Amino acid sequence: MRLTLIIALSAFQLWAGLHFGVGRAIRSQAQELSAEVGPSRDPQLGRPYQNAGDVTIARGYSNTASAPWGAAHHGLDFLVSTGTRHVFLAAEEGWVTEIKKFANEITGNWQVNVKIQFNKNFSMRYAFEPFTANSADADAQIANLNISKGQKVLKGESIGRLVAVGSGTHVDFGFKKKDSDVCPSGYFAPDVLNEITTSLRTVYPGANLCYE
């Protein structure tokens, strides 16, 4: 009888995949969740735009006003021509955790920020800035996005089109590591980095992409 019970218990626990303690069971499930949240590796950024010929890099990343563009700027500005609807892409895979429309306190213009969380440590921010004080244009910008909050996007997938209303319309591409803005140059694929840097140097000859 005792042997039967032991065999039955052993068979049951082998079959059931028992967890020994609540903490271990939660950890096991958290590991499963971790795989859904994002990869453990660092991001490898691709092109944030669809066609290189459609955009000009107007400003790079800087922590200091001594950069060629004369101001601290925590992002890369991808400038487009007025009246266009150019497509922007997810530079890496991730979860859309924020889509926010608001009026920029400095310029007074509306903008729409999209945040894509790559993993626990890294996120990307696309600030769609149509350069307009008209709220309806910002609504049009939201309507031109292909994504929604809570959605997973793949690398290279279209985020949406930038509605270029005013002169100076651009996407400000920000990159964060552990909630701090960082220069993304070390995370771009070499060909993309070369493409972006070359574009920036058409505006600021000899400039670096980042000044820290």
Provide the β-strand partners of residue 58. none
At closest approach, how far in Å is the CB of 17 from other proteins? 7
Choice from 62, 109, 111, 117 touching other proteins (CB under 8 A): 117
Structure tokens at 66: 């001594």
Nearer CB in complex with other proteins: 10/146: 10
Nearer CB in complex with other proteins: 178/206: 178
Choice from 32, 83, 167, 190 touching other proteins (CB under 8 A): 32
Structure tokens at 42: 């660092």
How many CB atoms within 10 Å of residue 80?
23
At closest approach, how far in Å is the CB of 96 from other proteins? 8
Instruction: Say which amino acid occupies 105.
Output: E
Q: Can you tell me the distance from the alpha carbon of 72 to that of 132, in angstroms, rounded to the nearest whole number?
A: 23
Choice from 64, 66, 97, 104 touching other proteins (CB under 8 A): 97
Q: Can you tell me the distance from the alpha carbon of 148 to that of 134, in angstroms, rounded to the nearest whole number?
A: 22
Q: Which residues bind other proteins (CB under 8 A)?
A: 2, 5-6, 9-10, 13-14, 16-40, 95-97, 117, 119-120, 150
